[in-house]
Structure 1
């Protein structure tokens, strides 16, 4: 289960991602996209849960 809170949404907005009326499905698509990008560019094995928690912990401070 994703955090999907206002902090995670604020973090995504700060990173330039925009969701249609805060739809959970859009959120999860973006998280999965970030998982793929992290594996491609960083070479790490971040999971969707890792990305989800990190977005929430950032608290929009991007």
Structure 2
């Protein structure tokens, strides 16, 4: 999916103004950051769930 998006961006950038390309680059960077934060939150939630399950198994 990501590679398709990158191909789409490169094809689209040819027809965009410099300002539009800059905005698109900024949005792309924000999307990457959001994806990383979502991954980190998922890992954090998984770790909490595992600790909770371990805690429950003690009783």
How high is the TM-score relative to the length of structure 2?
A: 0.36
**Structure whose alpha-carbon radius of gyration is higher:** 2
Greater percentage in helix: 2
How high is the TM-score relative to the length of structure 1?
A: 0.35
